[in-house]
Amino acid sequence: MRLQTFFRPVLGALACLTLAQSAHGQTAPKYPKETVILATHSSPGGGSDVFLREMAPHLTRAMGVNFAVENISGGSGAKAMAVLAKAKPDGGMFYATTPTFIYTSLMSKVETSYRDLEPLVNVFYDPEVVYTAAESKFQSLKDVIDNARANRGKWGAANPASLERQVLERMKTVTGVRAAVVTFEGGGDMQINVLNRTLDIGIGELGEIKPQLEAGKLRVLAIMGDARIEQMPDVPTAREQGVDVSVRKFRGLAAPKGTPPEIVAAWEAGIQRVLADPAYKKVYVENGLQPAFIPHKDYGPFIAEFARDTEAFLKAASVIK
Amino acid sequence: MNRDLVTALIGITLAVGYHIVASNIASGLLADEVGPDGLPRIYAWMLGGLSTLLGVRALLQQRTQPTGDEGEEGRAAWRALGLLLIACAYVAAVPVLGYTLTIAVIIAVAALYQGGRLSWSLALTSVLGAAALWYVFVYLLHIAQPEGMLPDLIERLRA
Amino acid sequence: MNEIMDMFQAVVRTPMIIVAAFVGTAWGIVGGAMPGISPSIAMALLLPFTYGADPAAAVVLLASTYLGAEYGGSIPAILIRTPGTNSAAATVLDGYAMKEQGKAGDALGISLYSTLVGAVFGVLMLLTLTQPLAQVALAFQPQSYVGLGVLGLSVIASCSEGSLVKGLMAGVIGLMIATVGTDPVTGVNRFTFDHPDLLSGIPPILVMVGVYAITNLLEQASTPAWVQTNSNEARLKMPGPLMRARLRLSQVIGCIIGFIEGLTPGGGGAISAFISYNEARRWSKNPEEFGKGSPEGVAAPEASNGAVSATSLIPMLGLGIPGSNSAAVLLGGFLIHGMTPGPLLFTKHADIMSGFYAGKVISLVALLVLGYLILRPCIWLVNRPKHYLMSFILALVLSGVYAIQGSLFHVGIAIGFGVLGYAFKILAMPVLPMILGVVLGFMVESNYRRALVLSDGDHMTFVEEPICAALLLLAAVFLIYSIVRHYRDVAKAKQIGLAA
């Protein structure tokens, strides 16, 4: 009945393994903490949770520190932000950033918002792609836009006031077409409606649609980022197809305010090292992630700019006042 | 007053209040034709209409149905209110006293309120009950129940 | 035959599967029995531990937890009127009534037996038809969900004992509760009063725990302690041949409805449990017993829950699309071990899938054994002196509700719904229609508006889409039937009254 007892030998073995590997051949300066907590608002198995848990063992090798992932769910991130803002800035606790924490900060009156945290470094972009059913007639983003101009497009985004919705709305604005943007409660729901061709296109993260992509049931039409991605070099970006929309769904870390510079430096070195690690690279490429290290000095302004854009969008759409 | 009439009045009040809040929902550029306030408004009208119907019917059937023993019902409600206060006291106390202590006290107080006698077995039950709940929720299920201010206070006194 | 050999070999290769099936089921029963710990939370709590485990054992562990939790939820539903999970809320109705009559052992036996029947049926479907059935999920469009939801709401007309008007009022109040939270189309916050804990709405389990468990506590507190309730024999009774024959029809109904609901993502176990309950009553030889301790009223929702626990994995395994929170956690479990559920899962990881299927079968045995073992201590617990029992239930509910999101605000909401339930009792309002409104409201509203966005505001879309049209027609037939019956009963009652 006691699960801990049941899996403890396994966990123990795993811990020994990672420690043994971290013991040899590292030149990194000593990190002030032995165990570091990586917190996320996502529940186990969710996007940020998988990101942290998969990175943790590799990061242990790169930084010589043990990591424990903690799920602080509740209030769409409001609770995790509050916990982190109150934590001591001694390098013992960090928070996985995604656009969600900015959306939550903007959309409700949270006591602690993204402004109360210190963006540390960015690690990845999670590429957003536009896709359609394999047997649909659309071969490029242009086909989709032309169809929407002639008839009336049906486009799907996973959640109502989300980054994905924002991209589709901007696509409507720059091309001037009239398309119905339908929102769902999560990506799976929407995928079904792309597969059964209720929708012309859907937008989502590459990792989400992988099974259907591999099975040849979906086709990616455009990458919604600044550049093509390694996993599918043949698929052009939206900009290449004449639709000037680009978005960067980021995955990085934030720290409590006042984190000392030597800890920041340790993380900047550690993240760069872990991204170059071939063993980890295999894992994250498989998951459709795009390495995107942003150093501390640029990450703060990056987050601030992202928040400004989002706020402008939400205000223009009168989602918030 | 007739029970259905009271229900109808409460229903109408609820419908009006709900409608006022619903009309203040902003609907902006992203809104569909129904809008975020569309169905809530319809619900408010439905509740209002049904309540009115119930009220009118209750007024027409003024031959008052035999009501229960009002005094007995009143006493029952007062006893229920006591338990309600105990539950509310838990919500107020747990952030301060912490989960394990508060839950033990709640078990003891609630048992006393339900007619238990102050005894060693009551004390033992509340301690064992709290320990069992702590074991299941905090230890096994890893639910971070409120720790309260006591650990913090002790640490501060030590420093 | 080959498949059975493969499954057998998988178990021989990884005996850990057996351990995982038993541990998972036990964990699920305990977690499910705690109000507030949903199957998905119980599974998610295990997820971190599966990182180092064998892939087949890991996914078996999670899937067994799901089955165990679906069953575990019914134990407190029957014994202390506290649904442990959303989908156990329908079991409260007759299960607790049976317990009040001193038949807790029978009720628990029926619930265990019916969950097993449903689960065996579901696992058979899972083993044989996953690939073709996954396609069924694709047939459901937003319109279809509107039809499904309206069919569910039509139940309100037949479950409003006494006054139809009051039943409808309660239903509308339920729908109102379901509008709290982020708007499904625009993302605007509605009725949240800027509170972050209300952003994702009021979880239905809070409403259920409130109006069933807390209301019951308040009522019990208001009856003097010296009024003795029936004591229950501390033994579990599995149904005998006569009872089994009586339950058959309601179990078949539960299995079929659970099977369909499991396949359609977003339907959810609670909805199918309530629809099964209502259909079982409609087809029963003794419909008047429902709500007053009918064994069939326990069997139908429990069979449905058992079936859902297996068939809801079909879209996740066959398409890679999780239809429920629990399926999403299991999907996470597959991903962690480098397996991507979807059309290619069975060809790429055939050996692990044999192990997974074998584990599903073993977990059925585990459920029977563990379900039997755990009931004795549970019955012992509810036979403690009343003041201890009541105070312990209060403590359990307060702890469990907090566990949902770690929010004291939620505890307050559940207490508030307890007061509402008490007020409903005083005003003679039925509570079940409100629960249905809460469970179905969001699904109906979001899909209704989604369908209209797709059709450019044309309501004809609901008639043109065949699944929706058929379900709406069915709902209309049921509605007319129950309204006619309602007024016939009222007229009959009047006649008898006049004659007397």
From C456's Cα to the closest Cα of chain B, the distance in A is: 9
pLDDT at A23: 40
Task: Name the nearest CA neighbour of C57 among C352, C394, C499, C391.
Answer: C352
Nearest-10 crossing angle of helices C142-158, C432-454: 160
Chains that touch C (3 or more CB pairs under 8 A): A, B
- Asked if residue A4 has pLDDT above 60, the reply is no
- ipTM (interface pTM): 0.92
Distance from C-alpha of C483 to C-alpha of C208, rounded to nearest angstrom: 26
Distance from C-alpha of C225 to C-alpha of C247, rounded to nearest angstrom: 36
User: What is the mean pLDDT of the segment spanning B111-126?
Assistant: 89
pLDDT at C331: 82
Q: What percent of chain A has pLDDT above 90?
A: 41
Q: Which amino acid is at C81?
A: R
pLDDT at A250: 93
Looking at the structure, tell me whether residues A177 and A221 fall in a common domain.
Answer: yes
pLDDT digit string (tens) for B58-100?
888 865 555 555 667 777 888 899 999 999 999 999 999 999 9
Q: What is the mean pLDDT of chain A?
A: 84
Mutate to test the interface with C, among B70, B79, B101 (most CBs of C within 10 A): B79
Of the three residues A241, A258, A287, the one that is the final residue of a domain is: A241
- Asked if residue C482 has pLDDT above 70, the reply is yes
Distance from C-alpha of C104 to C-alpha of C110, rounded to nearest angstrom: 10
Q: Kindly report the pTM of this predicted structure.
A: 0.84
Confidence band of B159 (pLDDT split at 50, 70, 90): confident
**DSSP helix/strand/coil, B96:** helix
- Asked if residue A16 has pLDDT above 60, the reply is no
Q: How many Å separate Cα C409 from the centre of its chain? A: 24
Q: Do C399 and B90 touch (CB under 8 A)?
A: no
Q: How many Å separate Cα A129 from the centre of its chain? A: 13
User: What is the mean pLDDT of the segment spanning A31-39?
Assistant: 87
pLDDT digit string (tens) for C283-336?
888 888 888 899 999 999 999 999 998 988 888 888 877 767 788 788 878 877
**Cα angle, residue A135 at apex, residues A133 and A138 outer, rounded to 5°:** 70
**What are the residues whose beta carbons fall under 8 Å from the beta carbon of C357, sequence distance 6 or more?**
C3, C7, C126, C127
Looking at the structure, tell me whether residues A33 and A10 fall in a common domain.
Answer: yes
Question: Does residue A290 lie in a domain region?
Answer: yes
Distance from C-alpha of A48 to C-alpha of A320, rounded to nearest angstrom: 26
Looking at the structure, tell me whether residues A95 and A49 fall in a common domain.
Answer: yes
Residue window 68-127, chain C: list those with CB within 8 Å of chain A. Answer: none
- Asked if residue C213 has pLDDT above 60, the reply is yes
- Asked if residue A202 has pLDDT above 90, the reply is yes
pLDDT digit string (tens) for C348-391?
888 888 899 999 999 999 999 998 888 888 888 877 888 888 89
Looking at the structure, tell me whether residues A197 and A268 fall in a common domain.
Answer: no
End-to-end Cα, chain A, rounded Å: 52
Please check whether residue B151 touches C, CB under 8 A: no
Q: Do A165 and B30 touch (CB under 8 A)?
A: yes
Looking at the structure, tell me whether residues A140 and A253 fall in a common domain.
Answer: no
Looking at the structure, tell me whether residues A10 and A99 fall in a common domain.
Answer: yes
Q: Report the number of distinct structural domains present in chain A.
A: 2
Looking at the structure, tell me whether residues A111 and A63 fall in a common domain.
Answer: yes
pLDDT digit string (tens) for C398-415?
998 888 777 889 999 999
- Which structural domain, as residue segments, surrounds residue A58? 3-126+249-316
Listed as own residue / partner, the contacts of A10-18 with beta carbons closer than 8 Å and 24 or more positions apart are: A10/C52, A10/C53, A11/C49, A11/C52, A13/C52, A14/A57, A14/C51, A14/C52, A15/A66, A18/A57, A18/A60, A18/A61, A18/A66
Please check whether residue A83 touches C, CB under 8 A: no
Looking at the structure, tell me whether residues A7 and A115 fall in a common domain.
Answer: yes
Question: Does residue A177 lie in a domain region?
Answer: yes
Q: Do C452 and B83 touch (CB under 8 A)?
A: no
pLDDT digit string (tens) for C237-282?
788 888 889 999 999 999 999 998 888 766 667 888 988 998 898 8
User: What is the mean pLDDT of the segment spanning C35-41?
Assistant: 81
pLDDT at A6: 36
Confidence band of A5 (pLDDT split at 50, 70, 90): very low
- Asked if residue C418 has pLDDT above 70, the reply is yes
The larger pLDDT score, comparing residue A76 to residue A221, is at: A221
User: What is the mean pLDDT of the segment spanning A9-23?
Assistant: 38
Question: Does residue A321 lie in a domain region?
Answer: no
Confidence band of C489 (pLDDT split at 50, 70, 90): confident
pLDDT at A21: 40
Where is mean pLDDT largest: A60-74, A236-250, A305-319? A236-250
Looking at the structure, tell me whether residues A276 and A306 fall in a common domain.
Answer: yes
pLDDT digit string (tens) for A276-289?
999 999 888 888 88
Q: Do B28 and A317 touch (CB under 8 A)?
A: yes
- Asked if residue A256 has pLDDT above 90, the reply is yes
Q: Which residues of chain C make contact with A67, given a CB cutoff of 8 A?
A: none
Question: Does residue A188 lie in a domain region?
Answer: yes
Looking at the structure, tell me whether residues A105 and A46 fall in a common domain.
Answer: yes
Phi, psi of A120 (to 5 degrees): -95, -75
pLDDT digit string (tens) for C65-100?
999 999 999 999 999 888 888 889 899 999 999 988
Chains that touch B (3 or more CB pairs under 8 A): A, C
From C221, which residue of chain B is nearest by alpha-carbon distance?
B80
**What are the residues whose beta carbons fall under 8 Å from the beta carbon of A298, sequence distance 6 or more?**
none
Candidates A2, A181, A318; nearest CB to B28: A318
Looking at the structure, tell me whether residues A9 and A122 fall in a common domain.
Answer: yes
pLDDT at A152: 87
Which domain CATH number covers A226?
3.40.190.10
Q: Do A318 and B140 touch (CB under 8 A)?
A: no
- Asked if residue A17 has pLDDT above 50, the reply is no
Looking at the structure, tell me whether residues A141 and A101 fall in a common domain.
Answer: no
